[in-house]
């Protein structure tokens, strides 16, 4: 499964680098990184508030996620369909760390998250690691792929 994600990531990078234009390369990496951090927070807020319109805007049409639970993969449709009314009023989802690396029209985010509360009827108290791949499509940044891993609780 990990090998498949690596291959998909490499293919996305190769396709995006091949579509690079002169104008797009003039953006500063630090400016892009700041923008991606803002988009990451928007994405998190959308999950917390069940904001399907924001997720629809931020996720690429062919978005793929490898679930932190290890139960398989999801798509843009499964992510958007899964957040409506899924969280309770005490639900917490926050970034603990977030690092953005920019490669022209691709940004790779590595982050740690804390998730607590109830989501889709299940009680959650988890520490998670995620890698997100953002791609610039038609001048707009879209989240193309994500993969999560749950950190085992300390004993």
pLDDT digits (tens, 9 = 90+) for 18-66: 555 444 456 798 999 999 999 999 999 999 898 999 999 999 999 999 9
Please say if the pLDDT value at position 9 is more than 70.
no
Q: What pTM was computed for the model?
A: 0.80
Domain at 2-151: CATH code: 3.10.450.50
Please say if the pLDDT value at position 90 is more than 90.
no
CB 82 within 8 A of CB 71: no
CB atoms near residue 58 (< 10 Å): 20
DSSP label at residue 21: -
Give the separation between CA 70 and CA 152, rounded to whole angstroms: 13
Residue closest to 126 by CA, chosen among 96, 99, 147: 96
For the chain, give the percent of residues with pLDDT over 70.
82
> What is the edge-to-edge ordering of all strands in the sheet holding 140-151?
73-75, 59-66, 140-151, 122-137, 106-119, 92-103
> For residue 6, what pLDDT is reported?
58
């Amino acid at each position: 499964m990990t090998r498949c994600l690596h291959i998909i990531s490499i293919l996305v990078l190769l396709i995006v680098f091949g579509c690079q234009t002169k104008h797009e390369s003039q953006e500063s990496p630090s400016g892009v990184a700041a923008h991606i951090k803002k988009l990451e927070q928007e994405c998190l807020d959308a999950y917390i508030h069940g904001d399907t319109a924001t997720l629809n805007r931020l996720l690429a049409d062919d978005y793929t996620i490898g679930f932190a639970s290890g139960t398989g993969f999801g798509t843009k449709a499964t992510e958007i369909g899964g957040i409506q009314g899924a969280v309770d009023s005490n639900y917490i989802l926050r970034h603990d760390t977030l690092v953005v690396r920019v490669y022209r029209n691709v940004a790779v985010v590595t982050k740690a998250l804390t998730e607590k509360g109830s989501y889709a009827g299940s009680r959650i108290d988890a520490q998670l690691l995620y890698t997100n791949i953002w791609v610039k499509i038609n001048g707009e940044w879209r989240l193309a792929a994500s993969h999560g891993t749950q950190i085992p609780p300390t004993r």
